[in-house]
Amino acid sequence: MAREADLLPGTLDLLILKAVSLGPLHGYAVLSRIRQISGDTLFIEQGALYPALFRLVRQGLLKTEWGKSENNRRAKFYELTSKGRKRLREETDGWNRLVAAIASSLAAQPQEA
């Protein structure tokens, strides 16, 4: 079993937005996509995905539509709105800046005396 990392609080929303940005997905596919793009390293409690999806819909970042899944089941598809796309861009930039800052802090060597 691959080592799993706990999600940082607030990052689930970002991951969902990223996962959906490549095209409309239903809930289970969102989860599979996250697992796939993260290389199976992130652990997400499956049920916890849904409250996050509902929240993003309420904020107008995602829109929903009922359709047919790959094996012909009725499923709810989530799609990025233009507002969601903008938010994803901002959050991605913010995240990258944060990571870079933390990485460079951690990489700092003690000054030689």
Partner 1 sequence: MIAYFRSLAARFVRRRQTERDLEQELASHIDMRASELVRSGWNQASAKRQARIEFGSLERFKEECRDAIAGNFIDILLQDLRFASRILRKSPGFVAVAILTMAIGIGATTAIFSVVDATLLEPLPYPQSEQLVSIQDNFPGVGARDVGMSEPEWQDLQHSGVFEYVSPTWFDENNLTGASQPARVRLLIVAPNYFELLGVQPHLGRGFDPQDHSPGIIPEVVISDGLWKRAFGSDPNILSKSVRMDTDLYRIVGVMPAGFDAPGRTAEERNIEIWAATSFYGAPLSDHPPRNRRNLPTAIARLKPGLTIAAAQSRLDALVASLQKQFAADYPQQNGWTVRLVPLKERVVGNVRQSLVLLLGAVGLVLLIGCVNVANLLLARASTRGREMAIRRALGAAQARLTRQLLTESLLLSFIGGIAGLGILFLLKDFLLQLVPEHLPRLNEISISWSVLLFALVASVVSGILFGLAPALQAGRLDLNHALKQEGRVSTGSGERARMRRGLVITEFALSLVLMIAAGLLLHSFWDLVNVPLGFNPEKVISVRTRLPSPNDPKIDKYATAAQEAPFIRELIRRCAMLPNVQEVAIGDTASIPLDESLRELKLISEGQFLLTVEGHDTQSEHSSVVERSSVSPNYFHLLGIPLQRGRLFNESDNDNTPQVAIINQAMAQTYWPNKDALGKRFKSVKSGAPWITVVGVIANARTQSLVQEDVPQIYLDVYQTGVQRLAILLRGHLRAAAIADEVREQVQALDPTLPVSGAQTLNETVSASLAQRRFSMEMVGLFALTALLLAGLGIYGVISYLVSERTHEIGIRLALGASRANILRIVLRQGLGLAIVGAAVGLVCALIVSHLMASLLYGVRPTDPLTFAGVAFLFIGVALLACYLPARRAMKVDPMVALRYE
Residue tagged 């959906």 (tokens): 20
The answer to whether 54 contacts partner 1 (rule: CB under 8 A) is yes
Q: Are 58 and 76 in contact (CB under 8 A)?
A: no
The answer to whether 11 contacts partner 1 (rule: CB under 8 A) is no
Q: Decide whether 18 or 76 has the Cβ nearer to partner 1.
A: 76
- Residue 54 CB, shortest distance to partner 1, in Å, is 4
Beta strands of 8-47 (E only): which ranges?
A: 25-26
Q: Phi then psi for 51, rounded to 5 degrees?
A: -55, -35
Using CB under 8 A, which of the segments 4-12, 42-50, 86-94, 104-112 binds partner 1?
42-50
The kind and range of the H/E element at 19 are helix 11-20
The answer to whether 43 contacts partner 1 (rule: CB under 8 A) is no
Half-sphere exposure of 81 (CA within 13 A, CB side): 12
- Residue ranges binding partner 1 (CB under 8 A): 26-28, 31, 45-48, 50-52, 54-55, 57-60, 66, 69, 71, 73-76
